[in-house]
């Protein structure tokens, strides 16, 4: 755990976009999905700080360096009739791992979810990422076995929209 008190968590600022984008690329490489990254820094800036932001981010800063980020947005539960907080991505730079920053970021998001009266806080994890799965379980997260993510994109999205 970090004991030197140089780590702080704050809402992302426009000046953090390049750092967040760089970590998104690092995350994609780690997940062996770099071929799927088509985003640009400009698009990320617009998504976070444009006229109609579609997401938010927290950054963890260690001694002046952006060490990690969490990108999230609100979804909605019809069963709860309450919004939820959905964590799209959480990433801690390799050099900063093992310091407890990931846990602190998740705790900050949980606190934010409670402050915003969210009914739940959710995210996805790749089925092969045993370290992450065990980490999440150790913090009380349930891994839902009965749910699978459905996705339509690219040509299939266009085809469905035209049907």
Token pair recorded at residue 153: 């994109």
Chain segment 98-145, per-residue pLDDT in tens:
999 999 999 999 999 999 999 999 999 999 999 999 999 999 999 999
Confidence of residue 2 (pLDDT cuts 50, 70, 90): very low
Q: How far apart are CA 46 and CA 96, in angstroms?
A: 28
Tell me the whole-structure pTM to 2 decimals.
Answer: 0.92
Partnered with residue 87 across adjacent β-strands are: 72, 123
Given 21, 86, 91, 136, the catalytic residue: 136
Report the top-level CATH class of 7-161: alpha beta
User: Would you list the DSSP string of 57-84?
Assistant: EEEEEETTEEEEEEEEEEEEETTTTEEE
Contacts of 115 (CB under 8 A, 6+ apart): none
Q: Is 136 a catalytic residue?
A: yes
CA dist list (Å): 143 to 15, 27, 84, 116, 136 = 35, 21, 17, 24, 8
Percentage of the chain surpassing pLDDT 70?
A: 97
Which tokens go with 39? 């985003």
Cβ-based neighbour number of residue 125 at 10 Å: 16
Q: Identify which of 74, 105, 104 has the alpha carbon closest to the alpha carbon of residue 90.
A: 105
Confidence of residue 4 (pLDDT cuts 50, 70, 90): low
pLDDT of residue 148: 87
């Amino acid at each position: 755990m970090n004991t030197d008190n140089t780590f702080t968590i704050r809402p992302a600022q426009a000046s953090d976009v390049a750092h967040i984008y760089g970590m998104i690329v690092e995350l994609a490489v780690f997940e062996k999905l770099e071929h799927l990254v088509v985003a640009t820094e400009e698009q990320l800036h617009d998504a976070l700080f444009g006229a109609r932001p579609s997401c938010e981010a927290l950054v963890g800063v260690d001694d002046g360096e952006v060490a990690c980020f969490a990108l999230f947005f609100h979804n909605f539960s019809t069963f709860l009739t309450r919004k939820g907080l959905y964590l799209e991505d959480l990433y801690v730079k390799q050099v900063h791992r093992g310091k407890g920053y990931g846990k602190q970021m998740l705790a900050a998001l949980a606190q934010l979810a409670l402050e915003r009266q969210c009914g739940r806080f959710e995210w996805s994890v790749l089925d092969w990422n045993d370290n992450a799965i065990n980490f999440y379980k150790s913090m009380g997260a349930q891994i839902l076995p009965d749910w699978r993510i459905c996705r339509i994109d690219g040509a299939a999205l266009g085809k469905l929209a035209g049907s």
